[in-house]
Every structure is written in structure tokens, then in C-alpha cells.
Structure 1
Amino acid sequence: MRVSVPTIPHAVTTASSKPISPAVAVERIVDFLSSGSVTLLTGAGVSVDSGIRAYRGKDGRYMNPNYQYYHELVDRSPKGHMFRHASPCLLRSYLGYPPVRDALPNTTHCALAALQYTSHISRLITQNVDGLHRKAIAHVWHDNLINERMLELHGSLHRVHCNHGHVVDRNTFQDWISAHNPYWKDYVTGLEATGMKPRTNPDGDVELEGVSYDDFVIPECPQCVLEGRHNTNQKPTVIFFGESIPTIVRNRSFHDVERSDRLFVVGTTLATFSAFRLVQHAVKLGKPVLLLNMGATRGDGLPGVEKIEIPASYVIRDVARTILGTRATADPVIVDLLNKGIYDPPSDR
């Protein structure tokens, strides 16, 4: 399954839905989550309140014109080598990673974590590469349990790998880039000192104007050097457009849908087929699907799919409190989760 540039048919983006009150939305979601095991599928809309922009504007238009294709980044020919060194992709990612790294889970992440902790959500599949779902529950669950119950469908910004499979922590890779690019290190330090943040997309890319990338140096993979080869072919462990999702991840995503009774979809337009196909799979298996998203989604009008259009931050915490009842005030772990989370949407959302 290759990831292509997200698109939504115009007829879908221009469709309208009926308004719904938060109270009615909470009641419907509570009823849905209270009936059998549930797999949750999330997208960029969940992270907007953490200050990370969604992929799409209000008109449904894809907002990042700087995307690059996988084959351009990994081409082993001299042409590919020239492209990587002339391409600003890694530099933009270097500049855009700190805001994502420092982002905090919002109220929706934390309320969903409470429902994960109590097994009302049995499996979570996220398209997001920001790691915020993991961060929301990391103090409650150990890594093995997180990896068992949570799947990052499109990878993670927090790791980098070379084309020979050597993986490194993202902070270490950032240090490598800083060591090779003192000018850009100073540039980032200056941004942080003034509190300025570049306009960052959910994939860690940024938008900069009037900037020259000619002097940017891509560091070599140290492990490859030890093995006797020179290799600057490195990228974040994120699925790029034109890249295939690993078979083990694809199969796991379908299996997570199959092993649950229902599919709850939050904060995604389903424009990427890797996510939309999971909804199609649930429908094919006769499993109820509930969408919670502001704006049009590719799943709108699909037989067997119900849609609620209201911001998740308006309802999810109340949903969790209603479902959990007295545990919401008696269990210290749940109390902590339901009182955590920031609300800091980007000003240009």
C-alpha cells in the first residue's frame, strides 16, 4: 500500500452536515463506545489543539505544497545524490522538528488515554507522526504495552533511519546536523530565544520564505562509515508520499480493525487511502463506524458510517467522564488524565 498525496473529491468537500449540540454528540459517542470493543483511528485534527496545524484548510485544500516523493529521496543514482543535497527537505525537517518535539498532549489526547487505560478503547491506530498519543499515556503504560495497543500507521518523527536500516534517535540526528551546520544551529537558537516558531506542518516540515539552502550539509550515517561506506541517504522514520507502508504495519492495522467490534474515527478527513481503506474494511465486515471530525471526510455518506461534525475538544473529555462514571473521580490515574492536557491551537488554523 503506497501513500499518495491526500485528495478528497470536490463533491465531498462542498457537502454540508447538520449542526449538533455538544450534549447530543456526547450522548451518541458514549452509546457507541459503551457497546463492545472499539478500535480508534485518529488523524491530524486531534493534534491541532497542541499547536500543530492540520493538513487541510477550512476549504478542504491540502495545505503543504512542499511535499516530496519517496523515490526522489532514496534514489541511489548520482541524480538522486544531487537531488538530496540540493533539496531543502531535511533542512526544513531539522527546523520544524523542535516545535513538534516540544508539543504537549492536549485535552483530547489525555481523555482518549483515559479510555485506553480502562480498555474502553482496545486498540489505537494513528496517522499522526508527532508521538503525542504515546506521550499522553507513557507515564501510565510501559513501552511494551503501548506498542501492543497503539500503532503509528505512518511512522514517527522521533526516529531517523538510513537506507541500510541503521536507526538513530531523532535528537541525536538533530545534533549531527547542528554539528555540520553551525549557521543553521544558530538560526534555530535564535528562533527559540525569541519565542518564534516557524509555520510547522504535521509531518514536521516548515514553510520559510527568502531562505537559501545552498550551504546545508547532510551528515553521513556513522554506522555506515564504520562499515566502510559513505552514506548521506537518511530520513525520518515517516512514510513519505510514494512510499509503501511496511507489510507488517499494514497487516497489523487491518488486524486491529478485525479484532474489535466497532471503529471510532477522530480528527481525520480520511483523504489518505491507508486510513480510508481501514474504514472500508470495517464496513465490509459489517462493523459500525462513527466519524468525529470538523469538515468533510472521504467517509461521508458511506453506507454503514455515521458522522458527527463537532470539534473533539468540545466533547471527548465529557465522553470519558460519562463512560467512566465514579472512576472519573475515584481512580487517581484517571483523575490525573482527565485533568491534564493543553489547549493551544495555532493562530493560523
Structure 2
Amino acid sequence: MADRLLEFMQRHPRLLVLTGAGISRASGIPTYRDHRGNWQRNAPIQHRDFLADHAVRQRYWARSLVGWRYMQRAQPNRAHRALAELEARGRIELLVTQNVDGLHQRAGSQRVLDLHGRIDSAVCLACGTQRCRADIQRFLEHHNAELVDFAAAAGPDGDADVDDLDLSAVTVPDCVSCGGVVKPDVVFFGDNVPRQRVAATTAALQSAGALLVVGSSLMVFSGYRFCKLAAQSGFPIAVLNRGVTRADDLVEFKVEGDCGEVLDGVVGLLGA
């Protein structure tokens, strides 16, 4: 499997790389979908509901309070490290990730665009004040002590399954500057990716002339759009992912294997 991907990289020496939740599974962060592209858990919170309903914000921050400890413990795996090595060897034009965990940066990648933002930061929707997620965790634990030791199954994007609890008394963080609504600095489902990120990714794709997708079913349009754009531009697409993807009919070839094992193999073959 690695040799086929290596041959693709030799024909296209600088790639736009798009990664998804599957690359962080080995770091202990669950995915939303199974190998058939179907939801594995409750639907995620929608952007409009978070803005409109205080109870939805209580639910989100309760889940986040419990789940943050799992996200903090997550470490880059060999797939992240292999991509960092490929970048160091000049093989990657830009690494665009749909993940919000920051693991690519922690693995050493420098040219990273966080398409959906980062979960380790939060922003006030009224005045734009930024806050570190660790500071918010201290606030949440101080005001919601009953959840501090609660154990629940980890979910994607730093949350956990606490929906069976009575969350009506949960205290949520408001902006320390203006009292406005604070949300994680990520693109929720139902929201739009900022235009400048789409433009930067599009420019990198045009410069690279080839796309490699790693660990993504591409069921969300924000990532799938770049496969459509590559196909429309006549650029080849390779996919490394276990299970179906939305772009299966657009790709030059697909490797169904473990992201870390295959990318490690590519790095090894390049070294040889």
C-alpha cells in the first residue's frame, strides 16, 4: 500500500494534504462516523442552536468540561509524525486539517491550516475577546464541581457523553470583557468556514496540483469541496482512509489501510 502512495508522491512531489478525524483515532479521539460513513453517536450541536438556546450552551459546556481531560491527554501518533517528516522533506505544500485537536502542530508540522479552528481556544461572539481553553476549564470546574469527577465515554472534538444528566444548573462561561456568549473557536456544524481559509486552501491546491486525503470520509462539504475543485481542475486525488468516502468516484486511487502504518511506510521508502 505504501509503495502505491509513494509512486503518487513521486509523480506529484508537492501535495495539498487534507486530513480528517480518522488520523487522530489512534491518539484516542473517537470519530463521528463509522467506516460506512454513518453517524456513530448523537448528532453534534448545531451552530444556530448554540447561539439561540442557553440550555444548549449548558449541554455543550457540560460535555466539554468532562471531555476536555481526554483531549488534553491525546498525543500525536505516527501518522501525525510521518506527515511532519514529509513536510520537512519538502513534500507538502500545505496541510489542511478538518480536526480541531492541534495534534499536527504538536507533531512538528509547520504549514498547517486549521480549517475548522482549534478547540484549545474560545472566542466571545460579541466583542471578539479570545480566551485560552485551559482558563475556561478552571472556570467550569470551579462553578460545576459536581461534574469534575464524572466519568463518561469520550466523544469527538473534546466532548463526552453526559446527556443523561440533569444539566439545568450548569454554569456556562460568559465573556470576561463584555458578558457576551463565549463559544469554542471552532466551526460548529451548520456554520460556515471563514472565507480566508477556503481561499488559502484553494490557492495551495492550485500551487500543488495534486491532493492527498488522509483519514476523512469527506461527508462534510467543507472538506469535500476541495475534492470537487481538484477534479474540476484536472488535479489527481489520492485517498488514504478506511471505509467509504464521499469522493470515491473522483479519486485516482484509494488505499484502505491504517494511516500511521501506510504513511510510516512511505517515509521509510523515501529514506531508502
Same fold (TM over 0.5): yes
Aligned partner of 1:296 in structure 2 is: 244
Q: Contact between 2:65 and 2:147, CA under 8 Å: does it hold in 1?
A: no
- Structure-to-structure mapping, 1:256-335, within 5 angstroms: 256-302=204-250, 304-325=251-272
Whether 1:132 and 2:103 are equivalent positions in the alignment is yes
Aligned partner of 1:90 in structure 2 is: 61
* Alignment deviations for residues 53-103 of structure 1 (CA, whole Å, 9 cap, x no partner): 12212443112314121112123xxxx3x4446x41111012111211210
Q: Any stretches of 5+ residues in structure 1 without a counterpart? A: 1-24, 139-145, 192-197, 225-229, 326-349
Equivalent position amino acid for 1:38 in 2: L
Q: Contact between 1:283 and 1:305, CA under 8 Å: does it hold in 2?
A: no
Whether 1:32 and 2:16 are equivalent positions in the alignment is no
Q: Which runs of 4+ in 1 moved over 6 A?
A: none
**Aligned positions, number:** 270
Aligned partner of 1:61 in structure 2 is: 38
| Root-mean-square deviation (Å) | 1.7
Q: Any stretches of 5+ residues in structure 2 without a counterpart? A: none
Q: Contact between 1:299 and 1:305, CA under 8 Å: does it hold in 2?
A: no
Aligned partner of 1:342 in structure 2 is: none
- Equivalent-residue separation in structure 2 for 1:159 and 1:248 (angstroms): 19
Aligned partner of 1:153 in structure 2 is: 115
Whether 1:179 and 2:142 are equivalent positions in the alignment is yes
- Equivalent-residue separation in structure 2 for 1:301 and 1:220 (angstroms): 46
Equivalent position amino acid for 1:116 in 2: E
* Alignment deviations for residues 195-248 of structure 1 (CA, whole Å, 9 cap, x no partner): xxx322222221136422122111321121xxxxx33x1111111111111111
- Structure-to-structure mapping, 1:98-109, within 5 angstroms: 98-109=69-80
- Equivalent-residue separation in structure 2 for 1:93 and 1:209 (angstroms): 12
Q: 2:23 aligns with which of 46, 62, 80?
A: 46
Report the 3-state secondary structure (helix = DSSP H, G, I; strand = E; otherwise coil) of the residue aligned with 2:76.
coil
- Equivalent-residue separation in structure 1 for 2:80 and 2:94 (angstroms): 14
Instruction: Report percent identity of matched pairs.
Output: 31
- Equivalent-residue separation in structure 1 for 2:144 and 2:67 (angstroms): 15
Q: Contact between 1:34 and 1:323, CA under 8 Å: does it hold in 2?
A: no
Whether 1:244 and 2:192 are equivalent positions in the alignment is yes
Equivalent position amino acid for 1:238 in 2: V
* Alignment deviations for residues 173-202 of structure 1 (CA, whole Å, 9 cap, x no partner): 1112122222223x25xx5xxxxxx32222
Aligned partner of 2:129 in structure 1 is: 166
Aligned partner of 1:123 in structure 2 is: 94
Q: 2:166 aligns with which of 209, 212, 216?
A: 212
- Equivalent-residue separation in structure 1 for 2:173 and 2:95 (angstroms): 35
Report the 3-state secondary structure (helix = DSSP H, G, I; strand = E; otherwise coil) of the residue aligned with 1:237.
strand
Q: Which has the higher contact order (CA 8 A, sep 6+)?
A: 1
User: TM-score scaled to structure 1, two decimals?
Assistant: 0.74
* Alignment deviations for residues 100-157 of structure 1 (CA, whole Å, 9 cap, x no partner): 121001111111111111111221000011111111006xxxxxxx3xx210111111
C-alpha displacement at 1:259, in angstroms?
1.3
Structure number, greater radius of gyration: 1
